[in-house]
Amino acid sequence: MTHSLNTRQIHLWRIATYFFFALPGFSTASWISRTPTIRDTLGATTNQMGWIIFGLAAGSILGLLGASHLIARYGGRFVMVTGLVVSAIGLFTVGIGGSWLPLGIIVFLGLAIFGFGNGICDVAMNVEGTAVEHATKKSLLTGFHAAFSAGTFLGAIAGSLAVNANIPIHVHLSLAAIIIVVSTIYLYRLVPAGTGQDNKEDSGEPPMTAKERMAVWKEPRTILIGIVVLGMAFAEGSANDWLPLLIVDGYKVTPAAGSFAFGLFVAAMTIGRAIGGMLLDRFGRVTVLRASALFAIVGLLIVIFGESYAQAAIGVVLWGLGAAFGFPVGLSAAGDNPRGVAARVGAVTTLGYSAFLIGPPILGVIGESVGLLRALLVVLIGVTIAGLLSHAAKPIEGDHQH
């Protein structure tokens, strides 16, 4: 498939992929930036908010589990586009339940639809990303994830402006949904059809059966990489879900200062990922993963035990730099073998996302009794385990590409 593309087509494909990574980041941050306001509108407790956010994760997991089968059948492009349109519908629904018709159940349903769309899009864009890596023979996945973080950063900035300007939640989220759909319609033709689709002529081998796709869950290397991604995704996801609230509650600052701290986290992640390809080519996956786990550990310790907002801000930056690499590096490692790439990338993404699934309610429940800051100790344990298992991401022998 990709071997028939000329240099210009590969270049456009690569650029479109950056945007396909940025859009889910933008949509996610649009919703996160409104969490304190939605919580207040609904009058929800920390625990209830954890369960409402659970809708997002439940939808995501359903999407992730189905994604590799959908990609094998319809190809990455179709699944990315469908996922983004579905997530835009979910975002619109969250806006209605968050302000126009304030009901926790509408927000929960909107988040479930949003999560499903994001889930299938997530696996598809990562399969697309590993295909672009193979076509260009370069380490690009951290760069693509930097685009995701840049999208998140833009969404966070737009969100904090919307909060300060008192723009109603449903107006803000409807506009975000329109931006996503219009961009998707424009970009999709730049991506070749059929990436990750099971075709006989591609590898000279018969397509993987559904049973073979499920068998990747028994591969020790795939599972260890998944655990590394799980620990690092927990560090990323806990910030995405709780950072504005835990800074507001823990350091007694305004919601705007909480949003700013989240902006710092995302900016640090974006910078880490932007230089990630260079670091990976120089030091290799294992060293980069170990160093990033160390940064996250130090950052979390500062946030948990910090004395002031300024100290917490420094901790947030280190936490963000540390959380930057787990997901993209793990997925790049999962994509080493071109046969069954959708299944392996799907398995590792699902393990990573289960951190986003289990994380919010667990931190909500623990946070209810010991406070959100102390609850972060659970995240600290996850990151430490990820750092200790980093050797699993070593390239497979004979894969000279990374």
Burial 31-67 (b: 16+ CB within 10 A, else e): bbbbbbbbbebbebebeebbbbbbbbbbbbbebbbbb
Report the residue count for the chain: 402
Which alpha helices (H) appear in 33-97, and where do they start and end?
35-42, 46-74, 76-95
In a domain? residue 199: no
Which two tokens mark 196?
């990750």
What is the chain's percent helix, strand, coil content, to nearest 5? 85, 0, 15
Burial 171-210 (b: 16+ CB within 10 A, else e): ebbbbbbebbbebbeebbebbbebbbbbeeebeeeeebee
pLDDT of res. 146: 92
Residue 28 has what DSSP assignment? Answer: H
Question: CA of 208: how far to CAs of 64, 73, 222, 225, 377, in Å?
Answer: 18, 11, 17, 21, 41
CA angle 66, 240, 24 (to 5 degrees): 50
pLDDT of res. 319: 97
Q: How far apart are CA 38 and CA 36, in angstroms?
A: 6
Residue 4 has what DSSP assignment? Answer: G
The Cβ of residue 221 has, within 10 Å, a number of other Cβ atoms equal to 17
In a domain? residue 204: no
In a domain? residue 308: yes
In a domain? residue 200: no
Q: How far apart are CA 273 and CA 271, in angstroms?
A: 5
Q: How far apart are CA 162 and CA 155, in angstroms?
A: 10
In a domain? residue 32: yes
Question: CA of 191: how far to CAs of 128, 134, 255, in Å?
Answer: 9, 15, 40
Amino acid present at 79: V
Amino acid present at 159: G
Handedness of CA 366, 370, 376, 380 (dihedral sign): negative
**In sequence order, which residues have a C-beta less than 8 Å from that of residue 30 and are 6 or more positions away?**
91, 155, 158, 159, 172, 173, 176
Q: How far apart are CA 330 and CA 194, in angstroms?
A: 23
Which two tokens mark 90?
């979910």
Q: Closest Cα to residue 229, out of 7, 387, 64, 48? A: 387
CA angle 184, 320, 35 (to 5 degrees): 60
Q: How far apart are CA 158 and CA 273, in angstroms?
A: 21
In a domain? residue 203: no
Determine the structural domain holding residue 17 and report its residue range. Answer: 2-194+213-393
The mean pLDDT values, 10 residues at a time, for the chain of 402 residues are 79 96 95 87 85 87 89 93 98 92 92 96 92 88 91 90 92 97 95 80 65 87 94 90 88 87 90 92 94 97 95 97 93 85 86 78 86 92 95 76 44
> Considering its fold, how many domains does the chain have in total?
1
Amino acid present at 243: L
In a domain? residue 372: yes
pLDDT of res. 200: 45
pLDDT of res. 401: 44
pLDDT of res. 185: 95
Q: How far apart are CA 334 and CA 220, in angstroms?
A: 12
The answer to whether 107 and 38 have CB atoms below 8 angstroms apart is: yes
In a domain? residue 293: yes
Q: What is the CATH number of the domain that holds 52?
A: 1.20.1250.20
pLDDT of res. 255: 81
Question: What SS3 state is found at 320?
Answer: helix
